[in-house]
Structure 1
């Protein structure tokens, strides 16, 4: 579809790297003696929730890339693909935020409660923004190609705000992950799995 394909590519470019925030949870290295057992347990509760959500977000990104390259899809097909991808990304980030929130403050860490709360707030905000995009895509007029293309353009423009939110979320996770917390995360097999992922960019 010539009318929407250039906009598709712009949207895909704006969304590239959406999984980077989740990857920020993966630690690197770690000391031989390891951190406090209570902190290890905290890290495990967070890390165990990561792989499934990381996979969901990466799959959603893949759908967006595939849809962006689709020159034959109808507006209805494009709408359905984008809406589902946005919903999956929203659900993935929401689950990550819930895992960090449910884990509570990392034990024995100075300022841990605030760092944990900041991470939850930022990731929850990102989840809400993707949910909002899903609603906007769902509301697009697929009967009028011109209006549909304009609507997709507006969605792509809003991605600039999401890029900033993603950076803020990544910074909040890095802040949470400092010192002993980073060491505890590095010890977890589930976070090591994410660190070994081809798309891992943090750590």
Structure 2
């Protein structure tokens, strides 16, 4: 009888530990969702700025006056660079997401958005450096900017796709404010 009581006590203790671990898992999921909501609520404004920048790039008349094209593209690139920089800062300030991969995810997100900000700042610098006095030279330069934009967009999309992975990525994907993190770039 004593053996059965000990076995029963051990099983009960094991069940209590299992329930406690399960409860912690649920708690981590809830905390991760709360973390994601906080990040995404802040990110929504920046994501809209990126979308607006990309839309404005698509509306620029590449056959227009070079100075007008340059000005419009430069403004769009600067706006996108600022927004990506803000996203990097949001993830920095948010700290690691709850869970095992939270710190790695956060560091990756900060890097991805910082790199995107740097790329768009580079595009602005590239467009600002074009000679607007000569239509043909400007058109050739614009082709180079367009090629750079396509490369930056492809690399950025691949990097941002990595942010959809794992538990943290799934938590962010559930949040309305984080939809549209991957911009679609159109060249002028």
> What is the TM-score when the length of structure 2 is the normalising length?
0.73
Q: Is the 8 A contact 1:106 1:181 kept in 2?
A: no
Question: Which structure would you say has the larger RCO, counting Cα contacts within 8 Å and 6 or more residues apart?
Answer: 1
Q: Is the 8 A contact 2:81 2:117 kept in 1?
A: yes
Gaps of 5+ in 2: 1-25
Shift of 1:112: 1.6
Q: Is the 8 A contact 2:35 2:97 kept in 1?
A: yes
Aligned residue number for residue 138 of structure 2: 148
1:100 to 2:91 alignment: yes
Structure 2 CA distance for partners of 1:174 and 1:75, relative to 1, 3 Å: same
Q: Is the 8 A contact 1:56 1:89 kept in 2?
A: yes
Which whole-Å CA distance do the structure 2 matches of 1:112 and 1:168 have between them? 20
Gaps of 5+ in 1: 1-32
Deviations 1:127-149 (A, max 9, x none): 10000110111111101112111
Q: Quick one: which of 169, 181, 192 aligns to 2:176?
A: 192
Structure holding more helix per residue:
2
Shift of 1:193: 5.1
Q: Is the 8 A contact 1:60 1:88 kept in 2?
A: yes
Aligned residue number for residue 53 of structure 2: 60
1:77 to 2:65 alignment: no
> What is the TM-score when the length of structure 1 is the normalising length?
0.68
Shift of 1:194: 5.4
Aligned residue number for residue 128 of structure 1: 118
Dislocated runs of 4+, deviation >3 Å: 33-38
Between the two proteins, the alignment pairs up a number of residues equal to 158
Which whole-Å CA distance do the structure 1 matches of 2:172 and 2:130 have between them? 45
Higher radius of gyration, 1 or 2: 2
Aligned residue number for residue 78 of structure 2: 87
